[in-house]
Amino acid sequence: VVDIRKLYGQTDAFTYDPGFTSTASCQSKLTYIDGDQGVLLHRGYPIGELAESSSFMEVAYLLLNGELPAKDELDKFTYTITRHTMVHEQLANFFRGFRRDAHPMAIMCGVVGALSAFYHDSTDIHDPVQRVIASHRLIAKMPTIAAMAYKYSVGQPFMYPDNSLSYTGNFLRMTFGVPAEPYEVNPVVERAMDRIFILHADHEQNASTSTVRLAGSSGANPFACIAAGIACLWGPAHGGANEAALNMLREIGTPDRIPEFIARAKDKNDPFRLMGFGHRVYKNYDPRATVMQKTVREVFDALKVSDPVFEVALRLEEMALSDDYFIEKKLFPNVDFYSGVILSAVGFPTSMFTALFALARTVGWVAQWNEMITDPDQKIGRPRQLYTGPTQRSYVPVGER
């Protein structure tokens, strides 16, 4: 390896940190994670307490504004979000341009990016008022867009928002309701979904959030930045893991096949990994997985259903956590391990799982984007590289090569 910097007289030093495992890209007051202890705090509040006692709207307010809202503040915020749930009629044409079997995340990358063309009035990132409006629009319209992606895939008409419902109830109705029939929101399912949204709202500088910040650092408009976040989240090592985890559990099928899959996960010649296991930051139990596991039982009880994959998941967790490989590498279930079991019981196809993650994470993305814009130290993101290619050489005409 030749250090070509020397050829050009470049001697400035930089760190080489693939995957940014030990490089902080920003300062943030939003979310704190202690991966060794399994702690996750939003603005200081433990995720377990928020998931137990608050609502997604309350957590959204907290992340955006720094403090939990008083009752009137929460009412006003919820009302404002509610007022922005509709999307422009022309946007429906975007959906119609896609194939029916298009992945909802493919649709969302395009449709959310296209929002900037509909809301030119809120793309001035230097105007604090416009930033707030753009943030509210994104949080409010994401359930409408996700539900439309689902409706399009099953060939049903789009449902307009019903703003007398809660944020989550409205989303469930737009997804599972049909225009000709009344739709009753199941309160346990509504609460479970709200909790899933809380658990996915923010997770400091993960890949998609870093993507949003990096895109935003150039001054790109917020709709484009969130579309970039959606694209990154889609990857199977990130937001796509909940879909992959449920597919894996279904493939395992019965507890007696678990040892075979654990052996595969440990085999370095096999690319297979236990999906929903391991985390870049948590080297202890992901606190979100604890809440998820509890919520599975509540949803099963409320819907009077069961699913053999839950039994497989519980046994797999038990066996992996007593296996030396997983103990030594500190691999524990992450938030995605159980979420798919719940979403499947509620009626979502696996292809919608990551879209739901994107819906919830929009709150974190928007809050992080706002924090970045207002940070006086903010600069355009421009990582360095360690060049390992050829040193300078002369061009050879094509006939002489």
Chain residues that interact with ligand ACO, rule: CB under 6 A = 237-239, 241, 265, 273-280, 329, 331, 334-336
Q: Starting from the edge strand earliest in sequence, which strands make up the sheet with 31-34, in order?
A: 31-34, 39-42, 45-46
Nearer to ligand ACO, 104 or 276 (CB): 276
φ/ψ region of 70 (left if φ > 0, alpha if ψ in -120 to 50, else beta) reads beta
Report in angstroms the alpha-carbon separations of 73 from 19, 34, 45, 70, 141: 40, 30, 18, 5, 21
* 33 phi-psi bin (left φ>0, alpha ψ -120 to 50, beta other): beta
**Tokens 């029939």 sit on residue:** 181
Taking the least distance from each CB to ligand ACO, the nearer of 81 and 341 is: 341
Q: Kindly state the smallest distance separating residue 324's Cβ from ligand ACO, in Å.
A: 13
Minimum separation from the CB atom of position 273 to ligand ACO (A): 4
135, 370 in Cβ contact below 8 A? Answer: yes
Which lies closer to ligand ACO via its Cβ, residue 137 or residue 213?
Answer: 213
Q: Which residues are catalytically annotated?
A: 279, 336
**Opening angle at CA 292, ends 370 and 79, nearest 5:** 45
Residue of this chain nearest to ligand ACO (CB atom):
278
Residue 141 Cβ vs ligand ACO, minimum distance, rounded to whole Å: 23
CB 85, min distance to ligand ACO, A = 26
- For 150, residues 6+ apart whose C-beta sits below 8 A from its C-beta are 104, 175, 348, 349, 352, 355
Q: Are 174 and 144 in contact (CB under 8 A)?
A: yes
Q: Which is nearer to ligand ACO, 277 or 348 (CB)?
A: 277
Nearer to ligand ACO, 280 or 294 (CB): 280
* Token pair 């944020």: residue: 167
Which lies closer to ligand ACO via its Cβ, residue 152 or residue 337? 337
For the bound state, the minimum distance from the C-beta of residue 237 to ligand ACO, rounded and expressed in Å, comes to 4
Q: How far is the CB of 238 from ligand ACO (least distance, A)?
A: 4
With respect to ligand ACO, which residue has the nearer C-beta, 63 or 81? 63
Would you say how long the chain is, in residues? 401
Q: How far is the CB of 272 from ligand ACO (least distance, A)?
A: 8
